Amino acid sequence: MRGEHSIDSHTDLYGVIGDPVRHSKSPIMLNKAFREAGVNGVYTAFHITPDKLGDFITGVRAMNIRGVNVTIPHKQHVMELIDEIDADALAIGAVNTIVNENGRLIGYNTDGIGYVRSLKEEAVASLGGKHIVVIGAGGASRGIVYALLKEKPARVTIANRTIEKAEQLARSLDCGGTEMHVEPNERLEPLCGEADLVINTTSIGMFPKVEEAPVRGSWMKPGAVASDLIYNPLKTTFLKEAEAQGCIVHSGLGMFIYQGAYAFEYWTGKPAPVDAMREIVLSALKQS
Ligand code: ATR
């Protein structure tokens, strides 16, 4: 029954692995989702160091753990230990969700699609034909650019401090009909002025250095979308300045919620109770 959450001998096990992991809000969010949707599951956090990753996967098989979220530093290494990798996760080169289908461990990546779903629900209905600037060329940027390209924007520009990394990333992706450009960070001011959407995938502006910003909000076109993957703080300096400039702002909380929502849906086959998940994460963030 909705709202009830009694653990019994039929309860399915789930969890997140990472090193570190104790800061994770995933257990609060997914246990809330199970309660809301009436799923007999329990979700916890496992602190797994890199030398124990193989033992953990053996444990998943032995105990029939039904679903696992994977975070730093295991997203790449875990790929060698599971049975099957979804085509998108393979192209991105990272797995953040494992589904245990009767003993067969299948890896997915829900970060990029989670980001795009939250962007479309919260900030911009369609990305078709848009000019997008992505700041940063690390792991997070890769998943996001991959998912963005499926939405057929007119142009994606990747700006990065180390230009070679942006070039490598651009070269490795199939751009379809989208124009792909690579630029150094020094060019961000004019680039932001032309963009419909600017996305910060770097850690610049994250707690505790909250006064820092990857670009000035005043560089943006009023009415454009400013998006930041950071959710601590919920409104970064970049987003505050962009809001003052008349932009629509989109915080990293949505990506976190929707990557979890996709994981929930892959595991249970039920639609994720997204509003309840957001509400409990927001209140947990306010307390910490
Ligand atoms: P993640 O997996 O979170 O994307 P990452 O792979 O370490 O983390 O990538 C971090 C990104 O943020 C990189 O693009 C990095 O730029 P470099 O490729 O030049 O290292 C960028 N970044 C981080 N701190 C930065 C800073 N202070 N100034 C400019 N770029 C920064």
How far does residue 178's CA lie from ligand 1's centre (Å)?
A: 24
Q: For residue 3, what pLDDT is reported? A: 52
Domains assigned to the chain: 12-109+255-287 (3.40.50.10860), 112-251 (3.40.50.720)
CB 43 within 8 A of CB 263: no
H helix and E strand count, the chain: 10, 12
Per-residue model confidence as pLDDT tens digits over 221-263: 999 999 999 999 999 999 999 999 999 999 999 999 999 999 9
d(CA 261, CA 29): 9
Secondary structure of residue 244 in the 3-state scheme? helix
pLDDT at position 118: 96
> How confident is the model at residue 288, as a pLDDT?
74
138 lines ligand 1 (CB under 6 A): yes
Q: Which two tokens stand for residue 186?
A: 């020094």
CB 43 within 8 A of CB 14: yes
Spatial contact of 215 and 151, defined as CB atoms under 8 Å apart: no
pLDDT of residue 86: 97
CA distance 32 to 3: 9
- For 84, 91, 96, 146, 159, the CA distances from 88, given in Å and listed in that order, are 12, 5, 12, 8, 23
Question: Which residues have a Cβ under 8 Å from the Cβ of 83 and sit 6 or more positions away?
Answer: 104, 105, 106
- Choose one of 145, 160, 185, 200 to mutate for the ligand 1 pocket test, by most ligand atoms within 8 angstroms of C-beta: 160
Alpha carbon distance 241, 220 (integer Å): 9
How many C-beta neighbours within 10 Å does residue 51 have?
8
Phi then psi dihedrals of residue 272, to 5 deg: -75, 140
DSSP annotation string for 95-149 = --EEEEETTEEEEE--HHHHHHHHHHHHT-S--TT-EEEEE--SHHHHHHHHHHH
Model pLDDT, residue 4: 58
Distance between start and end Cα atoms, the chain: 31
- Cβ(199) to ligand 1 under 6 A? no
In the DSSP assignment, the letter for residue 269 is: S
Q: 200 CB under 6 A from ligand 1? A: no
Which residues of the chain carry a pLDDT beneath 50? 1
Ligand 1 centre distance from Cα of residue 12 (Å): 37
Question: Would you call 75 a catalytic residue per the annotation?
Answer: yes
Query: 3-class SS at 90?
Result: helix
Which residues have C-beta within 8 Å of that of residue 89, sequence separation ≥ 6?
79, 95, 107, 108, 109
Query: So what's the pLDDT on residue 262?
Result: 97
Q: How far apart are CA 89 and CA 109, in angstroms?
A: 5
Question: Distance (Å, rounded) from C-alpha 48 to C-alpha 75?
Answer: 12
